[in-house]
A and B are shown apart, each in its own frame.
Chain A
Amino acid sequence: MFKTILPTLVGAAIVLFARLVTAVRGVWQGVDPVPRQRIYFANHGSNGDFVLIWTVLPPALRTQTRPVAAADYWLGGKLKPFIGREVFNAVLIDRNPQTRRDDPVWQMVAALDDGASLILFPEGTRNTSDELLLPFKPGLFHVAQARPDVELVPTWIDNLTSVMPKGKVIPVPLLCSVTFGEPLAVIDGEDKAAFLKRAEAALATLAEEVAR
């Protein structure tokens, strides 16, 4: 009984905390919050990124949306594996090609085939540079090609890097927003580089619109 309720309670506490610190607001600019299968691909600057996306999703969508996260980070220690697995139901992928046993693309496709939507950070790591975005990793392209019916929603997380920069533990309370842009899909015959460039551009454009 307690074991099944605990992840829900912890999830609710995390959402409440995110709201208290950031008063996060979801802006559904290019899509509506409807139960369609999607990959929300977002900029990545802080460990709290997927928590914010998760917070602004309506509860019904939240339970069906799984973040894709790095196994090396989320399986360390005792608390993180519980939060990663039980609370967020993350799809944990091994970022190291030498050690991994499962293909990350296959893992994501399997999660989609189970009916889940995904939160993906195609930059692959937290961006601490002065650039708006790091070059996208190819995973988004391969998953999109394997499951072309899934909507790819560019998602811009604004200001969370100031709230909790990499390496800081105490968050600064500042207002944040999560903006969902117009979905895109892989065009027939489009190659990997062209698609990734287009996806990057879509997210960068969204960021400019948010800044205005």
Chain B
Amino acid sequence: MNTPAEFTTLILGVLAILVVATVIAQVLKARMARDNDVIDNLVARINAWWGMVALLTLAMLGGQAGVVILFALLSFAGLREFLTLTAKRRADHWALVVSFFVILPVQYALIWADWYGMFSIFIPVYAFLLLPIVIAIHGDTDGYLTRVAETQWGLMICVFAASHVPALLSLEIPGYEGKNVLLVAFLVVVVQLSDVLQYVWGKLIGRRKIAPRLSPSKTWEGFVGGVLNASAIGAGLWWMTPFTPLEAAGLSLVITLMGFFGGLVMSAIKRDKGVKDWGHLIAGHGGFIDRLDSVVFSAPIFFHLIRYFWSVA
């Protein structure tokens, strides 16, 4: 395993944060006279973070294979949650089978092959045109456009957008050879820290709700505090990136903003479909999409900004 030295430093830092968070949560829990739902949820969230950090670390130690396989599995879990809630009828069976067992694996195979020209259009062009054909052949036109559109949307978010995280490994940045896995770590750490810090600031001083109908837990105080804090941390992580501190701050601001709006968009879909969480598999957090919405929205933008301004290929 030839991971860059910076990776070890980063993981030690993340572990330190987790230890501190765990201690604080346990102290809060011990101080509470009775069971408190917020604290119980906090403990569950932190416990789940230990698992998620372990999984991500393991994947990144595995290099490109590890990251591609991990995100293919996350796409699978996310798409499963998304398509559970979308409009579908018996006639869509083949379209759904193709989405899971052809389109998803092919997209990640293209990522693995570093075939930029194909992986960046495969779902927006080929799947986009193929799926409505497969659905139309079965002749059931009830809610046809809704079914086609919702399925395509699920593929765009859960597979296409998500696959831009491992796609970072295919970028060729002069002077940064062999270190691309750090870009994955940078993206995930900054965006997820932004989510966590928005939660913390919101719980501490959050008063004014941003979008009460979309998400009761998102406040202006949490949003501003979390995004600024996470961007500052992102700037402080410049040493593991090909960016200057100022560039790292700017990119961090972009991805934390995209992350925030990703959470908002996915909340709007949940309200539309009448559910509170996307799933139940990550204790304290909900489903995979509940945890990944921000990363998924920021990954393609992060990828393309780096590709335009830093990469040679």
Interface residues of chain A, those whose CB is within 8 Å of chain B, are 23, 25, 159, 162, 165, 168, 170, 172-175
Number of B residues with CB within 8 Å of any CB on chain A = 17
| Minimum CB distance partner of B278 in chain A | A175
Enumerate B230-247 residues with CB–CB distance to A below 8 Å: none
- Taking a contact as CB atoms under 8 Å apart, the answer to whether B280 and A25 are in contact is yes
**CA of A25 to CA of B286 in the docked complex: distance in angstroms?**
13
Hey, what's the 0/1 contact readout for B90-115 against A, CB within 8 Å counting as 1? 10010011001100000000000000
- Taking a contact as CB atoms under 8 Å apart, the answer to whether A175 and B81 are in contact is yes
Besides the contacts A170-B101, A174-B83, what 18 more A-B pairs have beta carbons closer than 8 Å?
A23-B77, A23-B279, A23-B280, A23-B281, A159-B84, A162-B88, A165-B93, A172-B93, A172-B96, A172-B97, A173-B79, A173-B80, A173-B100, A174-B80, A174-B84, A175-B80, A175-B81, A175-B279
Q: Which 5 A-B pairs have the closest CB atoms?
A: A172-B96, A175-B84, A174-B84, A173-B80, A170-B97
**CA of A170 to CA of B98 in the docked complex: distance in angstroms?**
10
- Taking a contact as CB atoms under 8 Å apart, the answer to whether A165 and B90 are in contact is yes
Could you tell me the distance in whole angstroms from the C-beta of A25 to the nearest C-beta in chain B? 6
| B76 lies within 8 A of chain A by Cβ | yes
Enumerate B127-150 residues with CB–CB distance to A below 8 Å: none
Classify the interface of chain B: helix, strand, loop or mixed.
helix
Q: Which residues of A contact B280 (CB under 8 A)?
A: 23, 25
- Taking a contact as CB atoms under 8 Å apart, the answer to whether A23 and B93 are in contact is no
Q: Which residues of A contact B76 (CB under 8 A)?
A: 173
Could you tell me the distance in whole angstroms from the C-beta of B191 to the nearest C-beta in chain A? 25
Could you tell me the distance in whole angstroms from the C-beta of A200 to the nearest C-beta in chain B? 24
Q: Which residues of A contact B77 (CB under 8 A)?
A: 23
Q: Which residues of B contact A173 (CB under 8 A)?
A: 76, 79-80, 100
Q: List 26 A-B contacts (CB under 8 A).
A: A23-B77, A23-B80, A23-B279, A23-B280, A23-B281, A159-B84, A162-B88, A165-B90, A165-B93, A168-B93, A170-B97, A170-B101, A172-B83, A172-B93, A172-B96, A172-B97, A172-B100, A173-B76, A173-B79, A173-B80, A173-B100, A174-B80, A174-B84, A175-B81, A175-B84, A175-B279
Q: Which residues of B contact A25 (CB under 8 A)?
A: 280
Could you tell me the distance in whole angstroms from the C-beta of A169 to the nearest C-beta in chain B? 10
Q: Which residues of B contact A159 (CB under 8 A)?
A: 84
| Minimum CB distance partner of B83 in chain A | A174
Q: Which residues of B contact A172 (CB under 8 A)?
A: 83, 93, 96-97, 100
Q: Which residues of A contact B83 (CB under 8 A)?
A: 172, 174
| Minimum CB distance partner of A171 in chain B | B97
**B80, B88, B101, B279: most-surrounded residue (chain A CB, <10 A):** B80
Q: Which residues of B contact A165 (CB under 8 A)?
A: 90, 93
Q: Which residues of A contact B93 (CB under 8 A)?
A: 165, 168, 172
Q: Which residues of B contact A170 (CB under 8 A)?
A: 97, 101
**CA of A23 to CA of B83 in the docked complex: distance in angstroms?**
13
**CA of A159 to CA of B90 in the docked complex: distance in angstroms?**
12
**CA of A117 to CA of B97 in the docked complex: distance in angstroms?**
35
**CA of A168 to CA of B101 in the docked complex: distance in angstroms?**
15
**CA of A125 to CA of B84 in the docked complex: distance in angstroms?**
25
| Minimum CB distance partner of B77 in chain A | A23
Q: Which residues of A contact B90 (CB under 8 A)?
A: 165
Enumerate B49-96 residues with CB–CB distance to A below 8 Å: 76-77, 79-81, 83-84, 88, 90, 93, 96
**CA of A53 to CA of B79 in the docked complex: distance in angstroms?**
24
| Minimum CB distance partner of A174 in chain B | B84
**B81, B84, B90: most-surrounded residue (chain A CB, <10 A):** B84
Could you tell me the distance in whole angstroms from the C-beta of A161 to the nearest C-beta in chain B? 9
Q: Which residues of A contact B100 (CB under 8 A)?
A: 172-173
Hey, what's the 0/1 contact readout for B281-296 against A, CB within 8 Å counting as 1? 1000000000000000
**CA of A165 to CA of B138 in the docked complex: distance in angstroms?**
15
| Minimum CB distance partner of A164 in chain B | B93
**CA of A25 to CA of B283 in the docked complex: distance in angstroms?**
13
Q: Which residues of A contact B97 (CB under 8 A)?
A: 170, 172
**A168, A170, A175: most-surrounded residue (chain B CB, <10 A):** A175
Enumerate B213-269 residues with CB–CB distance to A below 8 Å: none
Q: Which residues of A contact B88 (CB under 8 A)?
A: 162
Q: Which residues of B contact A174 (CB under 8 A)?
A: 80, 83-84
**CA of A165 to CA of B100 in the docked complex: distance in angstroms?**
17
**CA of A64 to CA of B107 in the docked complex: distance in angstroms?**
45
Could you tell me the distance in whole angstroms from the C-beta of B310 to the nearest C-beta in chain A? 37
Could you tell me the distance in whole angstroms from the C-beta of B152 to the nearest C-beta in chain A? 16
